């Protein structure tokens, strides 16, 4: 009798769940694009340059949605080696961009909200510091403001990611040759201490560029702060981010010792937090277009390792409907926050054959750093 009642309750539960199917968001992008097709250089080539690209909040489901929107093709399809990254941090199963990005930047897990510091709050130094010590040039290009977690993971040190005045001040002495992103207000008007960090960076030897035109004309070292906060959304900024990345590569690659550059599609995560599939996907598609630009340059160079991953997954997004031929997706968000699902790691170029399997995020960071020689 108890079994009959149990099965009856289960049947009622299944019927109830079916009646409460989630409301889907549908989207079709107004822009699609052709992907690049590049020939990968020999694995035996020397790795002189590393371009480390991070799609903030970009899990396999987000990539799958973008793939459908662009009619079954992405520049990520070029990558010969693929792995998975576990993203938990030392004191939380579900990480944030501070701890997740620091593990990638410095090869060590840390506590939630830490940026460039260990769990005990001692400073951790990113691969950009290692590269600079070896005479390589270094760069960072992001779509967010410079007080956001991921660029700070690579350039700054603080046990709490929202100590943003202190973090912005760290850029004065970070030593990175090429900095491009947003957040002018964090350098000036949003400060409670009265400091103007743009003037301090100029006094430290940086060329300060406040427009795209100024950034394109400036010499190294340069900090390009091209918006008051984050950059304009992808559908409004056009090719700005792609130009920022291309300019960085152009200048950094003049160093015969090579360079290391971190490139972040930062605002994928922001719009996934808001469950805004339109803006989130356009940020991801712009990130993929930028990946295509990077691959084209790297294929010509022949000595550049390109690694693409995410710091964590955002939105509990599921692709539940759509049409590949028409480029339409129907999705459901189950969360407005991060989750603990492993994220993809893609690698292309000499050394990429090692980037397979399932590893901790800190181990992927250590592997990238092992090519900084």
- pLDDT band (50, 70, 90) for residue 4: very low
pLDDT, averaged across the chain: 95
- pLDDT band (50, 70, 90) for residue 1: very low
Average pLDDT value for residue range 6-19: 46
- pLDDT band (50, 70, 90) for residue 14: very low
User: Integer distance in angstroms from the first to the last C-alpha of the chain?
Assistant: 71
Percent of the chain with pLDDT over 90: 94
Helix ranges restricted to H, the chain: 2-19, 60-69, 97-106, 127-133, 149-155, 164-170, 184-187, 197-203, 212-217, 234-237, 240-252, 267-273, 277-301, 361-369
DSSP secondary structure letter of residue 120: T
Average pLDDT value for residue range 131-157: 98
Percent of the chain with pLDDT over 70: 94
Average pLDDT value for residue range 333-358: 98
* C-alpha distances out from residue 50 to 46, 47, 153, 252, 265, Å: 11, 7, 17, 11, 17
Please spell the DSSP secondary structure of 21-84, one letter per residue.
PPPPEEEE-S---PPP--PPPPTTS---EEEEEEETT--HHHHHHHHHHTTS--GGGG-SEEEE
Residue 3 has pLDDT above 90, yes or no: no
Residue 22 pLDDT:
74
Q: Are the beta carbons of 96 and 56 closer than 8 angstroms?
A: no
**Which pairing describes strands 313-314 and 338-339: parallel, antiparallel, or unpaired?**
antiparallel
Average pLDDT value for residue range 290-316: 98
**Residues 107, 110, 113: CA angle, nearest 5 degrees:** 125
Residue 19 has pLDDT above 80, yes or no: no
- pLDDT band (50, 70, 90) for residue 9: very low
Domains detected in the chain: 23-369 (3.40.720.10)
d(CA 236, CA 108): 37
Q: Strand order of the sheet with strand 207-209? A: 207-209, 222-225, 178-182, 137-145, 259-265, 49-55, 304-309, 343-348, 81-86, 357-360
What confidence tens digit (pLDDT) does each residue in 204-257 have?
999 999 999 999 999 999 999 999 999 999 999 999 999 999 999 999 999 999
């Amino acid at each position: 009798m108890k079994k009959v009642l149990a099965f009856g309750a289960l049947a009622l539960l299944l019927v109830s769940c079916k009646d409460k199917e989630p409301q889907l968001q549908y989207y079709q992008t107004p822009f699609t694009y052709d992907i690049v097709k590049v020939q990968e250089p020999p694995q035996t080539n020397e790795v002189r340059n590393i371009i480390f690209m991070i799609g903030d909040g970009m899990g396999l489901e987000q990539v799958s949605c973008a793939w459908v929107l662009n009619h079954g093709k992405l520049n990520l399809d070029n990558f010969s080696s693929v792995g998975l990254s576990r993203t938990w941090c030392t004191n939380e199963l579900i990480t944030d961009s501070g701890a997740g990005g620091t593990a990638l930047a410095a090869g060590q897990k840390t506590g939630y909200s830490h940026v460039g510091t260990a769990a005990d709050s001692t400073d951790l130094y990113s691969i950009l510091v290692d590269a600079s010590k070896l005479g390589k040039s270094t760069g960072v290009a992001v779509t967010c403001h410079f007080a956001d977690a991921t660029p700070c993971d690579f350039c700054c040190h603080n046990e709490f990611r929202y100590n943003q005045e202190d973090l912005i001040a760290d850029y004065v002495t970070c030593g990175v040759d090429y900095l491009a992103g947003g957040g002018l207000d964090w350098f000036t008007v949003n400060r409670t201490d009265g400091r103007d960090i743009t003037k301090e960076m100029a006094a430290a030897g940086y060329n300060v560029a406040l427009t795209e035109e100024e950034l394109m004309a400036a010499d190294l070292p340069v900090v390009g702060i091209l918006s008051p906060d984050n950059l304009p959304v992808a559908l409004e900024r056009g090719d700005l981010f792609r130009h920022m990345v291309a300019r960085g590569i152009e200048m950094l690659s003049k160093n015969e010792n090579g360079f290391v550059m971190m490139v972040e599609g930062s605002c994928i995560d922001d719009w996934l937090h808001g469950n805004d599939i339109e803006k989130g996907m356009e940020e991801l598609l712009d990130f993929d277009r930028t990946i295509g630009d990077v691959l084209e340059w790297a294929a010509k160079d022949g000595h550049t390792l390109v690694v693409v991953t995410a710091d964590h997954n955002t939105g509990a997004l599921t692709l539940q409907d759509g049409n590949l031929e028409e480029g339409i997706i129907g999705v459901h968000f189950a969360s407005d926050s991060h989750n603990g699902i492993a994220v993809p790691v893609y690698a292309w170029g000499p050394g990429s054959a090692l980037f397979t399997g399932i590893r901790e995020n800190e181990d992927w960071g250590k592997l990238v750093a092992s090519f900084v020689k």
